[in-house]
Amino acid sequence: MTSEGTRYDTIIVGTGPGGATVARELARASQRVLILEWGGREPVTANFGQALRELFMPGRSFLITPDLMGVARGITTGGSSIYYCGTAFEPSYEMFDKYGVDLRDEIAEVRAELPIGPLEPRLIGPKSQRIMESARAIGLDWKPLDKFLYQDRCESSEPMGFYCAPSYESKWNARMWIDEAVAAGAILQTGARVHKVLVESKTATGVVYTQAGRTVRADADNIVLAAGGLGSPMILRESGIRGAGYNFFVDPLIFALGELDELEGPGELPMSTGIHCDEDGYMLTDFFLPRALDVATALQVGRFGKVRPRASARTLGIMIKARDVLAGRLSKRGGIRRRLMPVDAAKLEHGYGRAHAVLAQAGARKIYRTGTIAAHPGGTAKLGELVDENLRTEFSNLYVCDCSVVPEPFGRPPTLTLMGFGKRLARHLVGAEDRSQRTVSAVAAAGGGSAFRLAPR
Ligand SMILES: Cc1cc2nc3c(=O)[nH]c(=O)nc-3n(C[C@H](O)[C@H](O)[C@H](O)COP(=O)(O)OP(=O)(O)OC[C@H]3O[C@@H](n4cnc5c(N)ncnc54)[C@H](O)[C@@H]3O)c2cc1C
């Protein structure tokens, strides 16, 4: 094993919204930060080949449950946010209040920094508009959703779509904040897969990672795991925190799809508009799959007509995403051992009934539902169970800051929440450093011993 050589203030593992936010804040506060990311940093092209490598690679970024639900995560710099739909959703403040975590100031700060808001009418495509009008016509309170989008950079004529569209520059993603962290002095290592945290006397001393076939050790005063809901629990387990990776959520989803005769068009931005049926445990939004995925999901359920040229251009779609109960476990190798529970299947079915009514109202024919997939795994290292209100584990300087820490069933897009957590953790870590520096100065002023550093608490 070779050693990195440098000692860092903080090592951050993973570059999704959780990790990128902490990295940026700490680098701006002049900490020496090392960021370790398993994925690469290929320029984002929005083509299907890249999505296959980074989002749909079986066994790496695309994990399949025993009942054949596919769970996707982005393995690349920026994590899943490179492929997300850019929808911003307020956290459930009341849920986090119960655990002693108030995210209101941090979320307000994120909102002030980023252009979060509903789409301007010119950017809501004709199919989304049709869905919204049809939903309202049958009495649903369907509205434009907030997006993480620099709308002034979007041309309304620009084709919109799923992965990385409208264009890299238009949709905020976590790689942008990693770039800012690097500009402020952080070191980013890509292709660096972290396996475990080294612990001595209940204190984390460093991490072990592999990169280009080499095993490397890096040391730091604080370590933040932000490897996502499926990545961080595996590292925690390897490091001795055995309770990680049990009883979690994935926010399962299906699509209701139909065909329109007269409204044919290119992709539109998914999740432009929708409704959160909180009491029924699901949300409904418009959704437009790129052709390859539209055909793949149709073939999976025996809809062979979708291979016809232009069939996808006529598709009208609604996503039904459920707030599922906590269940299952991660296997020793990180596989997902979890089935869709009957109560969650019932929520999806209920949502499908509503979506079907909206599509029918919109004039769609041949309406069908797809198989189940998921894209929000979380709750694998829960607040109040494996991490405290400062996201600290049982080891005094080891933290988790990603979707793993969400303590209860969630059922809402998590990115904004995770950025709030990232800001809050960074504040805690910078405050801890200030406190330890003040102690050092006080000891020195009192004629005490040579410089030392307290383990921040
Ligand atoms: C297709 C899709 C659409 C989505 N749409 C939305 C949306 O509209 N709005 C929303 O809020 N959310 C959306 N999400 C969910 C959102 O993207 C994720 O919830 C969010 O990115 C999770 O952030 P995270 O920091 O927990 O982890 P991730 O984004 O998963 O990042 C984890 C990072 O850690 C890295 N990593 C993993 N293991 C290791 C390891 N051992 N060593 C080093 N690095 C490692 C990964 O490569 C990755 O970069 C979507 C997700 C997908 C897949």
Residues in Cβ contact with 247 at an 8 Å cutoff, skipping those fewer than 6 apart: 326, 327, 328, 329, 379
Please check the confidence at residue 6 and state whether its pLDDT lies above 90.
Answer: no
Contact 427, 456 (CB under 8 A): no
Name the strand (E) or helix (H) holding 118. strand 116-118
Does a structural domain hold residue 421? Answer: yes
In a domain, 134, yes or no: yes
Q: Report CA(55)–ligand 1 centroid distance (Å).
A: 10
On the question of pLDDT at 243 being above 50, the answer is: yes
Q: Which two tokens stand for residue 386?
A: 């494996």
pLDDT band at 449 (very low <50, low <70, confident <90, very high): very low
- Would the pLDDT of 50 be above 60? yes
Residue type at position 439: T
Check whether residue 244 and residue 184 sit in a common domain.
Answer: yes
Locate the ligand 1 atom nearest the alpha carbon of residue 73 and give its number.
53
Whether residue 108 is found in the same domain as residue 2:
yes
Residues 197 and 291 in one domain: no
| Residue 12 domain boundaries | 1-41+76-114+172-248+376-457
pTM beyond 0.85, yes or no: yes
Residue 305's pLDDT is what?
A: 81
pLDDT of res. 443: 38
Give the lowest-confidence range in 40-44, 132-136, 320-324. Answer: 40-44
Residue at a domain's end among 308, 342, 375: 375
**Extended beta strands in 141-281, E state:** 143-144, 146-148, 187-189, 192-200, 203-211, 214-225, 246-248, 252-259, 273-277
Mutate to test the pocket of ligand 1, among 234, 373, 399, 415 (most ligand atoms within 8 A of CB): 415
| Residue 244 per-residue DSSP state | T
Residues 122, 271, 380, 213: is their CA dihedral positive or negative? negative
Residues ≥6 apart with Cβ < 8 Å to 408: 95, 326, 379
HEC assignment per residue over 45-73: CCCHHHHHHHCCCECCCEEECCCCCEEEC
Evaluated on CA atoms 392, 395, 396, 401, the torsion sign reads negative
Q: Which residue has the higher pLDDT, 442 or 58?
A: 58
Q: Which helix (H) or strand (E) segment is 368 a member of?
A: strand 365-369
Model confidence band, residue 392 (pLDDT cutoffs 50, 70, 90): very high
Average pLDDT over residues 309-324: 90
Q: What is the pLDDT of residues 130-169, one digit of tens each?
A: 999 999 999 999 999 999 999 988 876 555 555 545 677 8
The residue whose CA has the least distance to atom 10 of ligand 1 is 413
- What's the whole-number mean pLDDT along residues 340-356? 98
- For the stretch 225-239, pLDDT in tens is 999 999 999 999 999
User: Does 227 lie in the same domain as 84?
Assistant: yes
Does any domain span residue 57?
no
Rg, the chain, Cα only = 22
| Assigned domain for 97 exists | yes
Distance 414 CA to ligand 1 centre (A): 9
- pLDDT category of residue 452 using cuts at 50, 70 and 90: very low
Interatomic CA distance for residues 333 and 122, integer angstroms: 47
Distance 74 CA to ligand 1 centre (A): 6
Same domain, yes or no: 256 and 240? no
**pLDDT, position 322:** 98
Confidence label for 306 from pLDDT (cuts 50, 70 and 90): confident
Does the residue 54 lie in any domain? no
Residue 216: the pLDDT is 97
> Is residue 136, in this structure, part of any structural domain at all?
yes
Claim to verify: residue 242 and residue 254 sit in the same structural domain: no
Domain boundary among 317, 343, 375: 375
Protein residue closest via CA to atom 46 of ligand 1: 75
Mean predicted lDDT score pLDDT of the chain? 91
Rounded Cα–Cα distance for residues 175 and 179 (Å): 6
Distance between CA atoms of 128 and 160, rounded to whole angstroms? 12
Same domain, 281 and 243: no
Q: What is the per-residue pLDDT for 163?
A: 57
pLDDT of residue 435: 58
Mean of pLDDT values over 294-309: 84
| Count of domains for the chain | 2
pLDDT value at position 301?
A: 87
pLDDT-wise least confident of 89-98, 266-275, 421-430: 266-275
User: DSSP 3-state assignment of 17?
Assistant: helix
What average pLDDT does the segment 11-37 reach? 98
What is the per-residue pLDDT for 313? 83
Of 375, 406, 439, the residue that ends a domain is 375
Average pLDDT, integer, range 374-403: 97
pLDDT of 453: 29
| CATH code for the domain of 291 | 3.30.410
Whether residues 216 and 336 share a domain: the answer is no
Residues 322 and 264 in one domain: yes
User: Distance (Å, rounded) from C-alpha 234 to C-alpha 255?
Assistant: 30
8-state DSSP, 388: -
CATH of the domain at 23: 3.50.50.60
Instruction: From 153, 118, 116, 111, select the one nearest 273 (Cα to Cα).
Output: 118
- Whether 268 and 137 share a structural domain: yes
| 16: its two tokens | 């999704």
pLDDT at 344: 98
Instruction: Report residue 41: phi and psi, to 5°.
Output: -140, 45
State the pLDDT at residue 309: 73
Q: Residue 163 domain-assigned?
A: no
Task: Indicate if 146 and 184 belong to the same structural domain.
Answer: no
Same-domain pairing of 301 and 324:
yes
Q: Out of 12, 24, 76, 84, give the residue to mutate to test ligand 1, the one with the largest number of ligand atoms within 8 Å of its CB.
A: 84
- Report how far ligand 1's centroid is from the alpha carbon of 81 (Å): 6
Rounded to an integer, the average pLDDT of 94-115 is 97
Pocket of ligand 1 (CB under 6 A): 13-19, 36-39, 72-75, 79-81, 83-87, 89, 193-194, 226-229, 231, 235, 271, 375-376, 402-403, 413-415, 418
For 4, phi then psi, to 5°, come to -60, -30
Residues 440-447 have a mean pLDDT of 42
Round to the nearest angstrom and report the end-to-end CA distance of the chain.
Answer: 30
Q: Quick check: is 52 in a domain?
A: no
- The residue whose CB lies within 8 Å of the most ligand 1 atoms, and thus the one to mutate among 11, 24, 75, 81, is 81
323 Cα: distance to centroid of ligand 1 (angstroms): 18
